[in-house]
Structure 1
Amino acid sequence: MVEDRLARINPDQVSADQQRVIDRLGAGRGRIPTPFNIWLHSPRLADGMEIIGTHIDAAPALTEAESEVAILFTAVHWNAPYVVANHRKHALKAGLPEDAVLAILGKRRPDGLTGRLGTVADAVRQLLAGEVVGDEAFDRYEAELGRERIAELLVTIGYFTSVSLAMNLHALAPRA
């Protein structure tokens, strides 16, 4: 199989629409994250993904650790080694214990996660499993997370589903 099917955007050959997104990425994140080399082929799509991705990256209602739990579970669910390797590092840096990260990588709920972090883990696992969220579970998620964090959680799962699938389709191997 071909490794790295990513057709990187040549900065010297971008359209005006692509340049506008690149400029916003630079202003919002200081760099062009790898998936944008895929999405920039469709500047309108890249524009929308930039808004969502920069929001998740810079101003989430979820803590960094809560976001990383959601991202890791999502990447593991989609068997996305590039995203797993990248966000394993982020999760540890965000303060998740090594045993919790290893449990997520092993498709298990970490035993030591309590409070909101545990609720995030439970919600993400239930959603990715395609389970129907019953009233009791929803009431718990709403009470412990609130509607704003639930919305953020859903967008994080959706965004990183797209990232995971994009990295897999384009055969990106984890960075060494």
Structure 2
Amino acid sequence: MGDEPLAHVAWLADRLAEAYANAVVEVYSSVLSPPRGAYDPARGQYLSEMVLDEAARLRQSTGVDAALVVASIDAYSPGLNFVFGQAMVGGGVAVVYTRRLRPEFYGLGPDLALYRERLLKEALHELGHAFGLGHCANPVCVMRFSNNIVEVDAKSMRYCRKCAARLLEAGIVVARKFLLTD
């Protein structure tokens, strides 16, 4: 959704294929439009639940086990000023919103490495939810809740042993490189 360059999505897909050892990751290059009625002009943001529902329809129509939509928009959820992403816990559907992951959003210059690190962290986090994980108390686990970009930057791109064990119970194998060494 939006104008996320395919190069970033392809890069992310390669990292996710590395992270989940038993997964086949495919990129669908079609650009989706946000659902009608999802945009709130007073906020200048999209209602995340409506975008997530659209992602669920996409998952159902393609027949994949899990779907991640990368959306270059700013989104919110009721009760929150914004969200970096959202997932249907255990439902195999997740969305990552990239607008607030970009350094430019915070008045900084472009930084491709930092942007991609944030993108990967949030994709791993939201897919963790999609595969059934909740938030983690481990301060560096990728499943730690992030209330702001500083907290996104503070966590790692790795699952703690506890979260990785729960993913394994769900049939998801996390590659060693994406595991914390606690």
Q: How high is the TM-score relative to the length of structure 1?
A: 0.25
Structure number with higher relative contact order (C-alpha < 8 Å, ≥ 6 residues apart): 1
More strand by share: 2
Q: How high is the TM-score relative to the length of structure 2?
A: 0.25
More helix by share: 1
